[in-house]
């Protein structure tokens, strides 16, 4: 399938539904080696005068290694028919299996990173900043105790959205 590049200003969707309910894949790495994971936490906005996406990855996730080692990663969104594929990518580790094959996803290489042909929307992102969330920084302590009983705090990544691709 072919993708075409659009301006981010052309997008029209509810980010709360797109990220929180429909989910997304965070993918990093190149043609030689890459990994992906499902995420439902994140944000979109403006920072430092740039269009940015913010994603959060727990330290034990295999994909984190790829995001850390590469300058770029992709965030991609899918139609409801790919819900099972996203469930596989969120519940299995690329350390243990070839989950993209199990999920029926076809790699799509773009700008030195990876997404998937089945996506309806892809953001190519360039890392700008990262920081580990910290227990002592929670203003609402319940968020710490509820979401981090093992203190495995997410790494937050803020990345410039360099390119927006939509399926033709």
Give the model's pLDDT for residue 1: 60
The pLDDT of 122-138, averaged and rounded, is 97
Report yes or no: 97 and 103 within 8 Å, Cβ to Cβ.
no
Domains, the chain, with CATH or none:
3-167 (2.30.110.10)
Q: 16-48 pLDDT, tens per residue? A: 999 999 999 999 999 999 999 999 999 999 999
What pTM was computed for the model?
0.96
pLDDT category at 108 given cuts 50, 70, 90 is very high
Report in angstroms the alpha-carbon separations of 10 from 4, 7, 62, 67, 100.
12, 6, 33, 27, 30
Quote the mean pLDDT of the chain. 96
- Helix or strand (DSSP H, E) at 43: strand 42-47
Q: 57-87 pLDDT, tens per residue? A: 999 999 999 999 999 999 999 999 999 999 9
């Amino acid at each position: 399938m072919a993708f075409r590049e659009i301006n981010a200003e052309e997008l029209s969707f509810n980010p709360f539904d797109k990220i929180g309910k429909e989910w997304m894949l965070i993918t990093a790495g190149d043609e030689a080696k890459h990994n992906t994971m499902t995420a439902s936490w994140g944000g979109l906005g403006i920072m430092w005068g740039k269009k940015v996406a913010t994603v959060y990855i727990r330290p034990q996730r295999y994909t984190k290694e790829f995001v850390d080692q590469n300058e770029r990663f992709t965030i991609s969104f899918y139609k409801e028919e790919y819900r099972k594929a996203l469930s596989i990518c969120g519940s299995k580790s690329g350390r243990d299996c070839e989950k993209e094959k199990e999920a029926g996803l076809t790699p799509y290489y773009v700008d030195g990173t990876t997404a998937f042909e089945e996506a309806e929307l892809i953001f190519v992102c360039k890392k700008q900043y990262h920081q580990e969330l910290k227990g002592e920084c929670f203003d609402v302590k319940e968020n710490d105790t509820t979401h981090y009983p093992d203190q495995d705090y997410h790494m937050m990544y803020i990345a410039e959205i360099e390119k927006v691709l939509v399926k033709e």
